[in-house]
């Protein structure tokens, strides 16, 4: 079982338009949205026009690009630990762990959910941009807590323990929903072309529920400028993701390997809305 999940929706118009196209014509069946980003309102319009689209929130605590910036949705005076001297989020998860309190993180991610719902997007799940919202035990606790508060599944997996040096057991119970495998390309995979990487992923998928995290955008002027001086997760990388997940080759691989696509909406509705 596989969720083909587009991250970073809302970051730029290029990201939005490529992701929407891949959801409508390709096999991308889920994604998550960055509420604090400038193009969030465009995603809300899309969600209203496409109420079955599987859109969660990519809880955002960083502003990582060089010349294109954003900050918290919470009043900045209330979350001083989340912002740098220019009022933007920090560029790295490490800085957020160093300077922000778990209380600030909790307040900001709660406000992102509230703002999304208020603007008209009913999210299907929560996950964390750059893993920041689970990069310390205190942040992880806030992330799980806010998910429960809004009856939303949060992306969690045993893999996060080694990736972020956190322990899940003290924070979850036996019925907590876990993803078996989170899969995402690395810079080395990009060097060998995304087509090769994803082909090998789809041919070698393990049993259980996997979530494949991808990033879709067009390699155009806007996206080149957003990701300037940053080939990793850059504009060309995102175009390759788009090309693969809208290709017939990808469709054929899913079929050949009997991969069943499932969505976060199905998971949410099963866990929290059964009977509706």
Binding site for its own copies (CB under 8 A): 12-14, 17, 38-42, 45, 66-70, 73, 75-78, 85-87, 115, 118-119, 218, 220-222, 225-226
Q: Where are the alpha helices (DSSP H) in the chain?
A: 13-25, 40-49, 93-99, 102-119, 137-149, 159-164, 187-191, 194-203, 221-226, 235-245, 248-256, 264-272
**CB of 142 vs its own copies, minimal distance in Å:** 21
Measured CA to CA, the distance from residue 89 to residue 91 in angstroms comes to 6
Provide the minimum distance between the beta carbon of 60 and its own copies in the complex, in angstroms, as a whole number.
14
**Closer residue to its own copies, CB minimum distance, 38 or 137:** 38
Nearest distance from residue 70's CB to its own copies, in Å?
6
Nearer to its own copies, 77 or 260 (CB): 77
DSSP letters along 193-244, please?
-HHHHHHHHHHSPPSS-EEEEE-----SHHHHHHTTT--TT-HHHHHHHHHH
Q: Which two tokens stand for residue 95?
A: 């800085």
User: Which of 78/98 has CB closer to its own copies?
Assistant: 78
Q: Minimum CB separation from its own copies for residue 76, in Å? A: 4
Q: How many CB atoms lie within 10 A of CB 111?
A: 20
Smallest separation (angstroms) from its own copies to the CB of 40: 7
Which residue, 53 or 212, is less far from its own copies as judged by CB? 53
153: left (phi over 0), alpha (psi -120 to 50) or beta: beta
214: Cα within 13 Å, side-chain hemisphere = 32
In angstroms, the CA 58 to CA 31 distance is 8
Instruction: CB nearer to its own copies: give 9 or 267.
Output: 9
Based on CB atoms, which residue is closest to its own copies, 41 or 103?
41
**Alpha carbons within 13 A on the beta-carbon side of 225:** 9
Distance of CA 264 to CAs 64, 107, 127, 155, 269, Å?
A: 26, 24, 11, 9, 8
Residue 119 C-beta: closest distance to its own copies, Å: 6
In the bound complex, what is the minimum distance in angstroms from residue 224's beta carbon to its own copies? 9
Which of 214/217 has CB closer to its own copies? 217
Are the beta carbons of 10 and 43 closer than 8 angstroms? yes
Task: Find where tokens 């290709």 sit.
Answer: 247
């Amino acid at each position: 079982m596989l969720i083909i999940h587009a991250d970073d929706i809302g970051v730029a118009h290029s990201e939005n338009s490529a992701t929407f196209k891949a959801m409508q014509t390709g096999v991308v069946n889920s994604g998550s949205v960055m509420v604090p980003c400038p193009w969030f309102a465009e995603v809300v319009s899309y969600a209203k026009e496409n109420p079955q689209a599987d859109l969660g929130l990519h809880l955002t605590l960083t502003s990582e690009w060089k010349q294109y910036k954003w900050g918290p949705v919470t009043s900045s005076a209330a979350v001083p630990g989340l912002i740098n001297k220019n009022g933007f989020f920090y560029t790295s998860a490490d800085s957020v762990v160093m300077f922000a309190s778990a209380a600030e993180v909790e307040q900001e991610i709660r406000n992102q959910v509230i703002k999304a719902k208020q603007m008209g997007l009913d999210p299907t799940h929560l996950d964390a941009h750059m893993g920041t919202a689970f990069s310390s035990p205190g942040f992880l606790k806030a992330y799980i807590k806010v998910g429960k508060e809004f009856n939303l599944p949060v992306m969690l997996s045993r893999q996060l323990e080694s990736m972020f040096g956190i322990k899940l057991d003290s924070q979850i119970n036996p019925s907590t929903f876990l993803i078996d495998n989170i899969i995402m390309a690395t810079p080395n995979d990009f060097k060998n072309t995304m087509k090769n990487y994803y082909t090998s992923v789809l041919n070698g998928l393990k049993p259980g529920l996997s979530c494949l995290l991808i990033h879709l955008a067009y390699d155009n002027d806007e996206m080149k400028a957003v990701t300037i001086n940053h080939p990793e997760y850059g504009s060309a990388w995102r175009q390759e993701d788009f090309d693969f997940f809208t290709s017939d080759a990808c469709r054929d691989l899913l079929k050949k390997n009997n991969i069943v696509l499932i969505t976060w909406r199905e998971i949410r509705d099963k866990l929290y809305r059964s009977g509706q």
